[in-house]
Amino acid sequence: MTDIAPTIAVRDRDVASFTREFLQQLTFTQGVSLEGASDNDKYQALARTVRAYLTSDWLATTDAQRTGGEKQVAYLSAEFLLGRQLDNNLLAADLGGIAREAMESLGLSLDELRELEVEPGLGNGGLGRLAACFIDSMATEDIPAIGYGIRYDYGIFKQTFVDGHQVEEADNWLAMGSPWEMPHPENAVEVGFGGRVDVITGEDGVERRAWVPDWHVVGVPYTYMVPGYRNGRVNTLRLWSAKATQAFDLKIFNSGDFEDAVRAQTRAETISQVLYPEDSTPQGKELRLQQQYFFVACSLRDYLDRVLPEGADLATLPDRITFQLNDTHPVIAVPELLRILVDERGMEWDAAWAIAQKVFAYTCHTLLPEALEVWSVDLLGRLLPRHLEIIYRINEEFLAAVRERYPHEPLRERHMSIIAEEPVRAVRMAYLATVAGFKVNGVAALHSQLLADKVLTDFADMWPEKFTNVTNGVTPRRFVRLANPTLSELITEAIGEGWVADLDRLRGLEPLANDPSFRARFRDIKRANRARFADVLAARDGIEISPDAMVDAMVKRLHEYKRQSLKLLHIVSLYERITSGRLALADVTPRTFVFGAKAAPGYVRAKETIALINHVGATINADASLEGKLKVAFPANYNVTLAEKLIPASDLSEQISLAGKEASGTGNMKFALNGALTIGTDDGANVEIRELVGDDNFFLFGMTEPEVAALSESGYKPEKYYESDEDLHRALNLLMSGALTGGERGSFVASVCASLIERDRFMALADFRSYVDAQDRVEAAYRDEDAWTRSAILNVARTGFFSSDRSMRDYTERIWRA
Reduced to 3 states (helix: H, G, I; strand: E, B; else coil), residue 162 is strand
Q: Which candidate in 42, 51, 521, 557 is catalytic?
A: 557
Residues with Cβ within 8 Å of residue 616, at least 6 apart in sequence? 568, 571, 572, 632, 735, 740, 741
Residues with Cβ within 8 Å of residue 602, at least 6 apart in sequence? 278, 279, 280
DSSP code of 452?
I
557 belongs to the catalytic site:
yes
365 belongs to the catalytic site:
yes
Residues with Cβ within 8 Å of residue 35, at least 6 apart in sequence? none
State how far the Cα of 239 lies from the Cα of 122, in Å rounded to an integer. Answer: 10
DSSP code of 727?
H
Q: What is the Cβ-side half-sphere exposure of residue 486, based on CA atoms within 13 angstroms?
A: 15
Q: What is the Cβ-side half-sphere exposure of residue 230, based on CA atoms within 13 angstroms?
A: 11
State how far the Cα of 579 lies from the Cα of 616, in Å rounded to an integer. Answer: 14
- HEC string for 634-657: CCCCCCHHHHHHHHHHCCEEEECC
Rg (CA), the chain: 27
State how far the Cα of 143 lies from the Cα of 72, in Å rounded to an integer. Answer: 7
On whether the CB atoms of residues 109 and 68 are closer than 8 A, the answer is: no
Q: Which candidate in 151, 288, 365, 563 is catalytic?
A: 365
Q: Nearest CA to 762 among 680, 669, 684, 662? A: 662
Letter string b/e over residues 299-322, b meaning 16 or more CB atoms within 10 A of that residue's CB:
bbbbbbeebbeeeeeeeebbebbb
- CA angle 234-240-245, nearest 5°? 140
State how far the Cα of 558 lies from the Cα of 565, in Å rounded to an integer. Answer: 10
DSSP 580-616: TTSS-GGGSPPEEEEEE----TT-HHHHHHHHHHHHH
On whether the CB atoms of residues 661 and 762 are closer than 8 A, the answer is: yes
670 belongs to the catalytic site:
yes
Q: Which candidate in 129, 151, 556, 598 is catalytic?
A: 556
Q: How far is CA 138 from CA 54, 141, 658, 795, in A?
A: 16, 5, 32, 25
Burial class (CB in 10 A: 0-12, 13-18, 19+), 408: exposed
State how far the Cα of 158 lies from the Cα of 175, in Å rounded to an integer. Answer: 14
DSSP code of 198?
E
- On the question of a cis peptide bond just before residue 423, with omega within 30 degrees of 0, the verdict is yes
Q: Nearest CA to 176 among 224, 221, 122, 117? A: 117
Dihedral over Cα of 609, 610, 615, 621: its sign: positive
Helices (H), 165-214: none
DSSP 657-670: PPTTT----SHHHH
Q: Which candidate in 51, 243, 562, 567 is catalytic?
A: 562
598 belongs to the catalytic site:
no
State how far the Cα of 62 lies from the Cα of 4, in Å rounded to an integer. Answer: 9
On whether the CB atoms of residues 121 and 154 are closer than 8 A, the answer is: yes
> Which residue type sits at 797?
A
- CA angle 145-148-153, nearest 5°? 145
Q: Which candidate in 61, 236, 328, 666 is catalytic?
A: 666
Q: Which candidate in 670, 790, 798, 806 is catalytic?
A: 670
State which H helix or E strand residue 699 sits in.
Answer: strand 698-700
State which H helix or E strand residue 443 sits in.
Answer: none
Reduced to 3 states (helix: H, G, I; strand: E, B; else coil), residue 361 is strand
Active-site residue list? 365, 556-557, 562, 666, 670
